[in-house]
Amino acid sequence: MLPRIAFTPGEPAGIGPDLAIRMAQQDWQAQLCVIADAELLTQRAKQLGLPLTLQPYNAAAKSTANPPGSLSIIHTPLEAPVVAGELNPANGSYVVQTLHRASEGNLNGEFDAVVTGPVHKGVINQAGIAFSGHTEYFAQQANCNDVVMLLATEGLRVALVTTHIPLAYVAKAITRERLEMVLRIIHDDFRQKWNIQQPRMIICGLNPHAGEGGHLGREELDVINPTLQQLRLEGMNLVGPLPADTLFQPKYLEQADVVVAMYHDQGLPVLKYKGFGNAVNITLGLPFIRTSVDHGTALDLAGKSEVNDGSCRLAIATAIDMVNATRS
How many other CB atoms are there within 10 angstroms of residue 97's CB atom? Answer: 17
Q: Measure Cα distances from 247 to 191, 244, 258 in Å.
A: 24, 5, 12
Helical residues (DSSP H) of the chain, grouped into ranges: 16-24, 38-48, 92-107, 121-126, 134-141, 170-173, 176-193, 219, 225-233, 244-247, 250-253, 264-275, 310-327
Residues contributing to the annotated binding site: 134-135, 164, 209, 264, 272, 281, 290
Distance CA 249, CA 267 (A): 13
| Rounded distance between C-alpha atoms, residue 20 and residue 11, angstroms | 12
Binding residue ranges for substrate: 134-135, 272, 281, 290
Which residue numbers belong to the known binding site for a divalent metal cation? 164, 209, 264
282 touches 153 (CB < 8 A): no
The residues, ordered by sequence, that sit 6+ positions from 215 with a Cβ below 8 Å of its Cβ are: none
